[in-house]
Amino acid sequence: MIQKKVLSSSDESSEDEHVEELMDKQKLVQAKANKPTRTSVSAEVYGQFNKKGQYQAKKVNKSQDAVKRIKQRMTQAFMFSALDEHELAIVIDAMEERKFKAGDFVIKQGDDGDVLYVVDQGQLDCFKVFKKGEPEKHLKVYQPGESFGELALLYNVPRAATIKAKTEAICFSLDRETFNHIVKDAAAKKREKYEEFLSKIELLKDMDPYERLQIADALKVQKFNKNDYIIRQGEQGNTFYFIQKGDCIATKTENGAENKVYSYNVGDYFGELALIKHEPRAANIVAQSEVVVVYLDSDSFRRLIGPVDEILKRNMSRYEKYVKK
């Protein structure tokens, strides 16, 4: 099994990594007993605790500046990455600006929750008490573009952690009803699409299922034709790729000649060298057929790939000898 590395306070596990504890609180075993077959993680998350009624779109008046800022932050928050333009417009209309002073509590562990938050400005500390009677533990600092509070909406459970403004902060809040009718469906479809694919990738097989679903939230798709260059040697690298369809080769250009040094197939990954070593791309990656890749940008890579970071470093030797300068 993969052992998680010790993380700094800026990227330690957030409240959503305690999903198993929350599911226990909801007596998941009893819920499963009422179902004849096991469903996927994402199906449980999005279907079990969030039954739909009739929905009427909510609209909160706000300035054009606020709308512009919400749009910017939503492009950074994984939770909204699967929404189309129409869905984005509905969510933006429903969001409400909330201002907090340093020291203000935004949410408290154990309270009921009916909104999630997207950070626009400032920093917010996340604390959690793991066992009754023990002091709370600082988990991380939320930065602009990050979201929190969705677990209470997904699972209909009390707040899993306490969020306190570290500085003056502005957040945008989204109500449960809009989340349930707009955001969760789009996110569920995306998660279900990639859940099985990610579970079959050797690198990720020992990850917790919920960790893989977080990766699914952040994935973006790109298609290439035969002989297209996905990566070019010498370029700055800021993306990490998984092959969903097709096959590729790595080539190294030296003295004007381009030579094959490695092959990639479905489920393989590439692009990590530049991100781990903070160096330009060491080789070309060329599509050998029609290729579909899913990828993480550098920020998502560093946030989400922590549990397999040591494996990535160890596996670099599989082809590093071919691409040494």
**Is residue 33 pLDDT above 50, yes or no?**
no
Query: What strands, in cross-sheet order, belong to the sheet with 248-254?
Result: 229-231, 284-287, 248-254, 257-264
Least reliable range by pLDDT among 9-13, 156-160, 258-262: 9-13
Residue 249: other Cβ atoms inside 10 A:
15
Q: Are 165 and 117 in contact (CB under 8 A)?
A: no
Considering only residues 29 and 293, tell me which one the structure prediction assigns the higher pLDDT. Answer: 293
The Cα angle at residue 207 between residues 190 and 123, in degrees rounded to 5: 70
Residue 9: pLDDT band (50, 70, 90) is very low
**Is residue 302 pLDDT above 80, yes or no?**
no
Residue 162: other Cβ atoms inside 10 A:
20
H or E element at residue 287? strand 284-287
Collapsing DSSP states into helix, strand and coil, what is residue 141? strand
**Is residue 174 pLDDT above 70, yes or no?**
yes
pLDDT at residue 108, as a whole number:
94
Q: Nearest-CA neighbor of 181 among 83, 274, 38?
A: 83
In degrees to the nearest 10, what's the CA dihedral of 206, 213, 113, 172? 130
pLDDT at residue 285, as a whole number:
95
Contacts of 145 (CB under 8 A, 6+ apart): 73, 76, 77, 118, 119
Considering only residues 104 and 273, tell me which one the structure prediction assigns the higher pLDDT. Answer: 104
Which tokens belong to 308?
């397999």
Q: How far apart are CA 82 and CA 104, in angstroms?
A: 32
Q: What is the pLDDT averaged over residues 138-156? A: 85
Q: How far apart are CA 87 and CA 180, in angstroms?
A: 12
Q: How far apart are CA 28 and CA 302, in angstroms?
A: 32
Residue-wise pLDDT for 35-94, tens only, equals 333 334 444 444 444 455 577 878 899 999 999 999 888 877 777 877 878 888 999 999
Residue 306: pLDDT band (50, 70, 90) is low
Q: What is the DSSP letter of 309?
A: H
Q: Nearest-CA neighbor of 223 among 192, 190, 248, 253?
A: 248
**Is residue 260 pLDDT above 90, yes or no?**
yes
Residue-wise pLDDT for 93-114, tens only, equals 999 999 999 999 999 999 998 9
Contacts of 45 (CB under 8 A, 6+ apart): 154, 155, 188, 213
Across 71-85, 195-209, 235-249, which has the greatest mean pLDDT? 235-249
> Which residues make beta-bridge pairs with 254?
257
Collapsing DSSP states into helix, strand and coil, what is residue 35? coil
Least reliable range by pLDDT among 122-126, 248-252, 266-270: 266-270
pTM: 0.55
Residue 290, Cα to own-chain centre: how many angstroms?
Answer: 27
